[in-house]
Amino acid sequence: MPGNSRARMRPLRLAAWLAMPILVGCSDDAPEGGSEFTLVQDWVTEPHYEFGDAMEGDAVFGSVTDVNVHSSAEGLRVYVLDGRSSEVTIWTADGTLIRRVGRDGPGPGEFQRPFDLVVLQDRFHVSDERRFTTFALDGEFLRTDMVPPSMSWRGFRLRHEALFADGSVVATPIVPTRIMAGSMGDDPVDVLPAVRVFREASSWALDTLAVISYRNWVVPFRLPGETLPANLTQEWVVPDSFRGDPVSGHAIVARMEAVPPGTLELIEISLAGDTVWTGQVRLPPVPIANDEVEAVVHRTAAAFASWGGDSMPSQSLRRRVRDAIVVPEAWPVTRGIRVMSNGEIWFRAAKSDVPSVWYAVPRVDGDGPIKRITLPEWFNPRDVTETHVWGERRDELGIEYVVGRRIVTPSQDITAKSRRQCNRAPQTELAE
Assigned domain for 104 exists: yes
Q: How far apart are CA 1 and CA 261, in angstroms?
A: 17
Segments in 150-216 forming alpha helices (H) = 177-181
Assigned domain for 241 exists: yes
Assigned domain for 120 exists: yes
Mean pLDDT of 110-121: 96
Which pLDDT tens digit goes with each residue over 125-173? Answer: 999 988 999 999 999 999 999 999 999 999 999 999 999 999 999 999 9
Name, in order, each residue with C-beta under 8 angstroms of 31's C-beta and a sequence gap of 6 or more.
Answer: 420
Assigned domain for 1 exists: no
Assigned domain for 353 exists: no
Name, in order, each residue with C-beta under 8 angstroms of 423's C-beta and a sequence gap of 6 or more.
Answer: 32, 33
pLDDT value for 22: 30
pLDDT value for 422: 32
81: β partners = 66, 88
What is the domain-level CATH number for residue 395? 2.120.10
pTM of the entire structure? Answer: 0.85
Q: How far apart are CA 78 and CA 63, in angstroms?
A: 16
Helix%, strand%, coil% for the chain, nearest 5? 10, 40, 50
Q: SS3 letters for 149-161? A: CCCCECCECEEEE
Number of domains in the chain: 1
80: β partners = 67, 89
Cα diameter, the chain? 69
Which pLDDT tens digit goes with each residue over 58-95? Answer: 899 999 999 999 998 889 999 999 999 999 999 999 99
Q: How far apart are CA 282 and CA 59, in angstroms?
A: 41
pLDDT value for 419: 38
Which pLDDT tens digit goes with each residue over 206-257? Answer: 999 999 999 999 999 999 888 889 999 999 999 999 999 999 999 999 999 8
Beta sheet of 241-245, edge-to-edge order: 5-6, 275-282, 263-269, 250-255, 241-245
Using CA atoms in the order 53, 56, 61, 63, what is the torsion angle rounded to 10 degrees?
Answer: 120
- Structural domain boundaries enclosing 258: 40-280+377-410
Assigned domain for 27 exists: no
Name the pLDDT band for 354 (thresholds 50, 70, 90): confident
% of the chain at pLDDT higher than 70: 87
Assigned domain for 365 exists: no
Assigned domain for 333 exists: no
* 38 or 309, which is more confident: 38
Name the pLDDT band for 412 (thresholds 50, 70, 90): very low
pLDDT value for 35: 52
